[in-house]
Amino acid sequence: MILVTGGAGFIGANFVLDWLNQHDEAIVNYDKLTYAGNLENLASLKTDTRHIFVHGDIGDSQKVCKMLAEYRPRAVINFAAESHVDRSIHGPEDFIQTNVVGTFHLLESVRAYWSGLAVSEKTDFRFLHVSTDEVYGSLAKDEPAFSETRRYEPNSPYSASKAASDHLVRAYHHTYGLPVLTTNCSNNYGPYHFPEKLIPLMIVNALAGKTLPVYGDGQQIRDWLYVKDHCSAICCVLEKGRLGEVYNVGGWNEKANLDIVHFICTLLDELRPRTDSKSYREQIKFVTDRPGHDRRYAIDARKIGRELGWKPVETFETGIRKTVQWYLDNQRWVNNVQSGAYRLWLEKNYAERDQ
């Protein structure tokens, strides 16, 4: 079996669901269940004996070591992270504790487990660390996309904490020989995305008749990757990736934030028109930009294509249509995930930026 940390979050849950849809191999899913970890994402697996859920923190070394000894996974895939830039600006300590200290404790636990394996099991074992393109900093408009050799220049507490975790993973390979792999992905979108990130927030707010808050001039550019494509890339790297290597995973879809919002509005105008027949674009409102907002990210995903034969299946147009339709079809999930704490967070974040 394999062990997945953070498997009740957005990307982790999609990975668990896709894995069990395509493999008979069981998964131990270890998640702290913070605000973005939601077992409802995995409701379809409630009776599936291949899915074993364990509630816990990656920083709890005693619990992690006990779990590793009990289930003896052949691989660990680390999704566990605090991942929202705005939250890291308001409260960076959680990001340091989870992304840096937590990753350190997880690596120590895994290293102890791996060291005790039989030779054949030790050779086959993998630790795959899932990271972000934000560790590379920001690009000017005409700069080439991020490659795996790009210098790290993180600009937010979130990206700095993920950069630190990447360095720890690399060090454990070079110092101890731990068989690691690292992926740095671009902006994900798709089903089960917690509605504080751009795409789900725009969909949810539009349907609720609320404003669609766009930071600054809305011209911040990101590369967008459909989450199911990201999951297939992780499987590919786990199976065929070279030990100690980093693989950038992107969708080849550079889009400005405002263009994303316009695209969502156009789809909603088609799929769920407003009762007054006006466009959802009427709800767009520009708000004060966040501090240190990186202007552009772009992923050069040629290495994973060249070495491992992976490429994304979805274009942005096909992926965003599937995403919008999923949110329209799963309003109960949206309603359930919108807890009081979530609403308070959005009010605090955007009230400060309202012009």
Reported as a single tens digit per residue, the pLDDT across 180-205 is 999 999 999 999 998 889 999 999 99
Please report the pLDDT score of residue 342 as a whole number: 41
CB–CB of 138/292 below 8 Å? no
Detail the DSSP E strand segments found in 280-332.
284-287
Per the annotation, the verdict on 289 as an active-site residue is: no
Radius of gyration of the chain (CA): 20
* Long-range residue pairs from 62-68, CB within 8 A, at least 24 positions apart, any chain: 64/30, 64/105, 64/106, 64/109, 64/110, 65/109, 65/112, 65/113, 67/3, 67/28, 67/30, 68/3, 68/109, 68/110, 68/113
Residue 22's contacts (CB-CB under 8 Å, 6 or more residues apart) are 235
Would you say residue 345 has pLDDT above 60?
no
Q: What is the mean pLDDT of residues 113-137?
A: 97
Would you say residue 54 has pLDDT above 60?
yes
Q: What is the mean pLDDT of residues 302-319?
A: 98
State the CB neighbour count (10 A cutoff) for residue 8: 26
User: Which of 3, 234, 199 has the alpha carbon at shortest distance from 114?
Assistant: 3
Strand 75-78 with 126-132, pairing? parallel
pLDDT band at 344 (very low <50, low <70, confident <90, very high): low
Classify domain 2-189+226-252+296-313 by CATH number.
3.40.50.720
User: Environment class of residue 65 by beta-carbon count within 10 Å: exposed (0-12), middle (13-18) or buried (19+)?
Assistant: middle
Q: Of these residues, 133, 166, 196, 229, which one is catalytic?
A: 133
Distance CA 324, CA 61 (A): 40
pLDDT band at 36 (very low <50, low <70, confident <90, very high): confident
Please report the pLDDT score of residue 179 as a whole number: 98
The CA-to-CA distance between both ends of the chain, in Å, stands at 52
Strand 254-256 with 221-226, pairing? antiparallel
- Lowest pLDDT segment from 32-36, 179-183, 330-334: 32-36
Distance of CA 226 to the CA centre of its chain: 11
Compare 290 and 112 and report the one with higher pLDDT: 112
Average pLDDT, rounded, for the chain: 94
Distance CA 189, CA 195 (A): 11
Phi-psi region of 340 (alpha: psi -120 to 50; beta: other; left: phi over 0): alpha
Q: Where are the domains of the chain?
A: 2-189+226-252+296-313
Two tokens, residue 249: 């995973």
Would you say residue 349 has pLDDT above 70?
no
Distance CA 70, CA 236 (A): 27
Q: What is the mean pLDDT of residues 211-215?
A: 97
pLDDT band at 87 (very low <50, low <70, confident <90, very high): confident
Q: Give backbone dihedrals phi and psi of 248, rounded to 5 degrees, phi first.
A: -80, 135
> What percent of the chain has pLDDT above 70?
95
Would you say residue 340 has pLDDT above 60?
no
Tens-place pLDDT, residues 218-262 = 999 999 999 999 999 999 999 999 999 999 999 999 999 999 999
Tens-place pLDDT, residues 57-79 = 999 999 999 999 999 999 999 99
Per the annotation, the verdict on 223 as an active-site residue is: no
Per the annotation, the verdict on 134 as an active-site residue is: yes
Q: Of these residues, 86, 134, 166, 229, which one is catalytic?
A: 134
Give bridge partners of residue 223 from the DSSP assignment.
Answer: 254
pLDDT band at 348 (very low <50, low <70, confident <90, very high): low
Q: Helix or strand or coil: residue 345?
A: helix
Compare 113 and 39 and report the one with higher pLDDT: 113
Residue positions counted in the chain: 355
Q: What is the mean pLDDT of residues 84-112?
A: 94
Q: Of these residues, 30, 113, 136, 158, which one is catalytic?
A: 158
